[in-house]
Amino acid sequence: MTSTSLLTPRFHVSRRDFLKTSAATTALAALPAWGADALDLVNGRPRRVGLIGAGWYGKSDLWRLVQVANVEIVSLCDPDKNMLAGAAEIAAQRQRSKKTPRLYRDYREMLREKDLEIVLVGSPDHWHALHAIAAMEAGADVYCQKPISIDVREGEAMLDAARRLGRVVQIGTQRKSTPHLIDAKKQIVDAGLLGKIAHVEMCCYFAMRANGNPPVQPVPEFLDYELWSGPAPLRPYDGLPHKRWWRTFREYGNGITGDMCVHMLDTVRWMLGLGWPKRVTSTGGIFVQKEGKSNISDTQVATFEFDGLNAVWQHRTWGTPPDPDYPWAAFIYGDKGTLKLSTMRADFIPQDKKAKPIHFDCVFEREKYPEDVGEKDIELNAAPATRLHMVDFLAAIATRGRPIADIEHGHISTASCILANLSMDLAGRPLAYDPKKRVVTGDAEATRLLRREYRAPWKHPGAV
């Protein structure tokens, strides 16, 4: 496939330079066949885009989309007026039209217009299902941040909606679009250099568990806390929940496993062509950091059993990582070597001492996209991956095909991590989820826990 030669003539200079990089060419070679409709998404009439959740990563995703496609940011939505105003100011500067988007507090009002072709969902995890399904029902294709859901039934409902409505849904598990990981998959895994692969380890040792004791305080006038909480329990307000604070509570997410394991498990599944795990087992809890309000585990081990191999996850939010170069990583073990993978690098270590190790560096694009450098809170190492992920999303929209991080893959990776947490809650009980029957085999209690209760008046989209 000649993706580069096909696209380059009609790209603007920055796009052309982008495509000249070997990593971009490698990634584009894996995309669906591009045609006139796909080119139009980049250089034709602007597609109408809306963003729900104008916080850190919602904005980051939107700015990456603006960099690779001709879009008009029509609408922004967030229950925090200050955050919304800040996003609107940047949007007016970044988009070609220089127009200020319409602003909404309530996503239902935004989607009621039914004038958006693409909706980005960057809200906290407990909102993903309702936001994404509503956007699909309003006629939009959706880019949704990971994890896709806070419980398994939500994920099932999102997958069903996408298929029923014929929507393209790309999930923000952009490791599949990370240039150096694409190269590692092609040159090491696909080339058979690992030999027989029989074990995988995944980990995160970042000290990322917010664990303070802020006092209960009045809700500021610029935040609609009732709407921000939505279907989740209404916790006493103890400060702005963005950016890390909400992640420390299972009312809104699934802890480090739901936040970080979902990326690495999804990467391993993509690298090795794995589907659903046969069984998930997990143990853990709060063993060290007991002084604060946080209720997510600070220590956890989970085993995802596949045919012929186990993928084992471990996280600690305290102490030091055993491999300082790979504090958040996946390690694929074969009888001919080991492949280490992270967002920053990758290394192949051959079993044969005469063979040379192979190193892969993270791709940065500071020169091609100088606006990245001054962007507040940007993950510079992730920006090229997110750009390629957006390109893949646009290609799928053009062809009405499935993107590389299709909703089904997002559901498998997310639900597997949720099952790990359920196993931990059930004292380490092994759980075997049947995706066809949509039950945990032989376990009625665990099956009931696949669906969380919503706070009234919000209605859960999944089956009881």
Question: What is the model's pLDDT at position 45?
Answer: 80
Question: What is the model's pLDDT at position 38?
Answer: 52
The structure's pTM equals 0.92
Confidence grade of residue 464 (pLDDT, cut at 50, 70, 90)? confident
Distances (CA, A) of 131 to 151, 157, 201, 337, 457: 15, 12, 33, 43, 16
DSSP 140: -
Helix count and strand count (H, E) for the chain: 16, 16
| Mean pLDDT of all residues belonging to the chain | 92
On whether the CB atoms of residues 288 and 267 are closer than 8 A, the answer is no
| 252-271 residue pLDDT tens | 999 999 999 999 999 999 99
Question: What is the model's pLDDT at position 26?
Answer: 41
Main-chain phi, psi angles of 132, to 5 degrees: -65, -45
Question: What is the model's pLDDT at position 43?
Answer: 59
Average pLDDT of span 110-115 = 96
Q: Percentage of residues in the chain with pLDDT exceeding 70? A: 91
Q: Which residues pair with 332 in a beta bridge?
A: 200, 339
For the four alpha carbons of 35, 41, 43 and 45, in that order, the dihedral sign comes to: positive
Question: What is the model's pLDDT at position 22?
Answer: 39
Average pLDDT of span 39-53 = 80
The structural domains of the chain, ordered by start, are 3-176+379-406 (3.40.50.720), 179-216+241-375+411-448 (3.30.360.10)
Question: What is the model's pLDDT at position 208?
Answer: 96
Q: Which of these ranges, 93-97, 135-139, 404-408, 425-429, has the smallest mean pLDDT?
A: 93-97
Alpha helices in 46-106 (DSSP H): 56-68, 81-94
* DSSP run (H or E) holding 76: strand 71-77
Average pLDDT of span 44-63 = 93
pLDDT at 21 over 90: no
pLDDT at 343 over 90: yes
Average pLDDT of span 198-227 = 97
pLDDT at 315 over 60: yes
On whether the CB atoms of residues 341 and 332 are closer than 8 A, the answer is yes
More confident residue, 389 or 4: 389
- Give the three-class secondary structure for 123: coil
Average pLDDT of span 296-308 = 98
| 387-429 residue pLDDT tens | 999 999 999 999 999 999 999 999 999 999 999 999 999 999 9
β strands within 222-287, DSSP E: 279-285
Question: What is the model's pLDDT at position 463?
Answer: 84
pLDDT at 35 over 50: no
Cα–Cα dist 191/180, whole Å: 15
**Residue of 382, 393, 463 lying closest to 154 (CA atoms):** 463
Confidence grade of residue 243 (pLDDT, cut at 50, 70, 90)? confident
Question: Beta strand 141-144 with 169-171: parallel, antiparallel or unpaired?
Answer: parallel
More confident residue, 8 or 130: 130
Q: Which two tokens stand for residue 288?
A: 């060290």
On whether the CB atoms of residues 47 and 23 are closer than 8 A, the answer is no
| 148-190 residue pLDDT tens | 999 999 999 999 999 999 999 999 999 999 999 999 999 999 9
Q: Is the peptide bond before 243 cis (omega within 30 degrees of 0)?
A: yes
